[in-house]
Each structure stands twice: as C-alpha cells, then as structure tokens.
Amino acid sequence: MSDLLAHPGLLRAFSEAQRVGALGPVSPADVIAHSLAFVEALPADAQTCADLGTGAGVPGLVIAVARPDIRLVLVDRRAKRTDALHRAVASLGLESRVD
C-alpha cells in the first residue's frame, strides 16, 4: 500500500482540493499516509463504506483506490467540495463504485 503515497491520481485530486480550499496546507502525500490507517482498519470483508463530512475525500478516495472491492459513499454538505469530489472520482475512474 505504500505505493499509494505517490499515486499520481490521488496526489492530483488532493492538490486540486487544496486549490479550491477543501483541504488545508498539508502535503498530499501526508494526507494519503494518514488515510492508509483507515484502509488498514477496515474489516477484510467490508463491502460498503461511508465517509461522512468527507471534505476533500479524506480518507474516502484513498480507501476507494486501495480497496477496489468496496463501494463508497462520500458525503459533504458544501457544493464546492462535492463539485471537486465529483471531478476527482471521475479522474480516478471510480464512478461505478463511489457515490
């Protein structure tokens, strides 16, 4: 999973989230590293995961990339954040299993 630390799609998505103000001034690689703890905490047989108040998609986008067997629901109330999330989900090719 450490290869995700340099995943170009995730790095791009979190950089874009910073640009629109959905993510603070933290390194995108650090965001991914932090999110990997959530990936490791999920049960092996998990089929669905909800990320409430996802903001920039942390940790939801990392979970989606790391666990292609899981369907995710990313929820946030701010349109600017959800617009950025829709773009990130599309650019990562996750539309079929991330809502």
Question: pLDDT tens, 53-72?
Answer: 998 899 999 999 999 999 99
DSSP conformation class of 64: H
pLDDT above 70 for 79: yes
**Please, what's the b/e burial string for 34-71 (b: 16 or more CB within 10 A of its CB; e: otherwise)?**
ebbebbeeeeeeeeebebeebbbbbbbbbbbbbbeebe
Q: Which residues contact 47 (CB under 8 A, 6 or more apart)?
A: 69, 70, 71
Would you state the pLDDT for residue 2?
Answer: 67
More reliable by pLDDT, 18 or 71: 71
Q: What is the DSSP letter of 96?
A: T
Q: Residues 32-41: what's their mean pLDDT?
A: 93
Domains and CATH numbers, the chain: 2-91 (3.40.50.150)
My answer on whether omega of the bond before 59 falls inside 30° of 0, hence cis, is: yes
